[in-house]
Structure formats: C-alpha cells, structure tokens
C-alpha cells in the first residue's frame, strides 16, 4: 500500500516509493538506490494467466536520483544480463523510443546489431506515470527471444508482438518529466533513472523455461496445490 500517495491504490512499480525524490520534494538517503519491490498491478489483468503476466509480482530495480543517466544504465544492464545472468547476447533484442538516437548509439556501441534495436512510440516505449500524474519518461526495454517455435510465423514477428515469442525482462526508464493530471509534461529538476526487471520472468528465462509458472519460484506453490 503506497504511503502518502493519493494517486495510487496499490504499489504498481518499484519507483513508487521514490516519487518524492524524483520530484525534488525530498532528499534520498543516497543518489543511487536498488530495491526488490512487491507489486500489484491490475492494468494487465486481461493478460493474467498467459506465460508472462501476473497480478502480484516482484520487481527488481536500480535507481538514480540525479546521478548516473542513460549511458551508464544501458551499459550496466547489458553487463548484468550477459555476464552475470549469462544470457546469450544473440537472444536479446532492444526496443527504444522513436526519436531516442542517443540510446540507439549506446546499444550499438555495446555490440547490439542495429537490426535488433527497434523503435516504438509512446504506447510501448514511454513509461508512466504510475497513477494519474507523476514522473515519467521514454524507456528502453530488453527482450529475450524464446525461439521461432514460440512465434506466430510472420515475417514481421519482433518484440511487442502478441504471440509471446519475446519476453520483456527489463525496462530502463529515463525519467525526465513530471506529467500533470491534465496530461501536460514539464521537466523534472534532474534527469533520473528508474529500471524495473520482473523477477519471475527473469528467473524463467535464466532457467530455460518458457513460462513463469515453470520457474522454481512457483514449484513449491504448485506442488502444494496439487496435493489438495
């Protein structure tokens, strides 16, 4: 339950507790923060039950309050998923906001082929606000390719296709704006970083599973249910 935030009924993202820091209303204990946040999200409720959506999930995140920004966030994210999680780079696709040439250059510099860096509009690659107002900004997402056998077979199949072939595991939000209730956006005091990595999706991908329900996070629960 969000504390002191009338714009939300439930915590839907890892950055909710940090909104006062982004808005310049309070000072963070450190400009660099990390968290594992329990989230409840109803906006995707029509998709719950498919291999990648839950109502309740845990979101891993790293956050910068006016400290590091786009280049560092992208570089560290790539290092984490390829070197620490051991995901094969050739399975990873990147999406960016339509006019974000800066992010395109940073991903290319890390070795991501241009054909695996796709541009999308506000519906897919502009995040926020959490609630009817608050911090928001363009974003860049890391998607894992489960393989052609899980796709729709169309030549146009790519990240954000509804077939489920691509699993979005990490969203890097470049939080630059505050959106008012009337939809107007103004620049925040400083550019910030807000990332969200789905624990359940990432666990499934790392364990070579195609569904979050097959990951070991759910095994004890499903075994208990099966005995009832």
- Taking only the tens place, the pLDDT of each residue in 52-108 is 989 999 999 999 999 999 999 999 999 999 999 999 999 999 999 999 999 999 999
Stated pTM of the model = 0.92
* CA distance linking residue 97 with residue 104, whole number of Å: 9
Q: Is the pLDDT of residue 34 over 90?
A: yes
Q: What is the DSSP letter of 153?
A: -
Q: What is the DSSP letter of 183?
A: S
* CA distance linking residue 113 with residue 186, whole number of Å: 34
* CA distance linking residue 131 with residue 147, whole number of Å: 35
* CA distance linking residue 83 with residue 72, whole number of Å: 16
Q: Is the pLDDT of residue 187 over 80?
A: yes
| Helical (H) or strand (E) element with 48 | none
* CA distance linking residue 91 with residue 144, whole number of Å: 6
Model pLDDT, residue 67: 97
Q: Whose CA is closest to 19, among 146, 147, 188?
A: 188
* CA distance linking residue 185 with residue 7, whole number of Å: 17
* CA distance linking residue 131 with residue 141, whole number of Å: 21
* Residue 213: other Cβ atoms inside 10 A: 18
**Chain position carrying tokens 């498919």:** 50
Q: What are the structural domain ranges in the chain?
A: 16-46+55-226
Mean pLDDT of 131-142: 92
Contact between 176 and 135 under an 8 Å Cβ cutoff? The reply is no
Name the residue with higher pLDDT: 12 or 200. Answer: 200
Dihedral Cα 93, 82, 193, 53, nearest 10 deg: 60
In angstroms, how far is the first alpha carbon of the chain from the final one?
Answer: 31
- Taking only the tens place, the pLDDT of each residue in 12-30 is 888 889 989 988 899 999 9
Contact between 218 and 54 under an 8 Å Cβ cutoff? The reply is no
The structure tokens listed for 170 are 């990490």
Average model confidence (pLDDT) across the chain: 94
Select 16-46+55-226's CATH number: 3.40.190.10, 3.20.180.10, 1.20.1260.10, 3.30.930.10: 3.30.930.10
Find residue 33's DSSP bridge partners.
63
């Amino acid at each position: 339950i969000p504390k002191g935030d009338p714009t939300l009924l439930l915590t839907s993202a890892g950055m909710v507790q940090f909104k006062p820091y982004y808005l310049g209303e309070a000072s963070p204990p450190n400009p660099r923060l990390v968290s594992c946040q329990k989230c409840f999200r109803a906006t995707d409720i029509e998709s719950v039950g498919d291999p990648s959506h839950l109502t309740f999930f845990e979101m891993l995140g790293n956050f910068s309050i006016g400290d590091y920004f786009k280049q560092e966030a992208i570089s560290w994210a790539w290092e984490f998923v390829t070197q620490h999680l051991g995901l094969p780079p050739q399975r990873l696709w990147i999406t960016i906001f339509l006019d974000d040439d800066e992010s395109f250059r940073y991903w290319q510099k890390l070795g991501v082929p241009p054909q695996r860096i796709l541009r999308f509009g506000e519906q897919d690659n502009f995040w926020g606000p959490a609630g009817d107002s608050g911090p928001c900004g363009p974003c860049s997402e890391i998607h894992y390719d489960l393989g052609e056998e899980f796709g729709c077979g169309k030549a146009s199949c790519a990240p954000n296709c509804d077939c489920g072939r691509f699993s979005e595991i990490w969203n890097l939000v470049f939080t630059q704006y505050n959106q008012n209730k009337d939809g107007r956006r103004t620049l925040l005091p400083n550019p910030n970083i807000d990332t969200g990595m789905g624990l359940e999706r990432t666990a499934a991908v790392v364990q070579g599973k195609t569904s979050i329900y097959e990951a070991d996070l759910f095994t004890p629960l499903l075994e208990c249910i099966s005995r009832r």
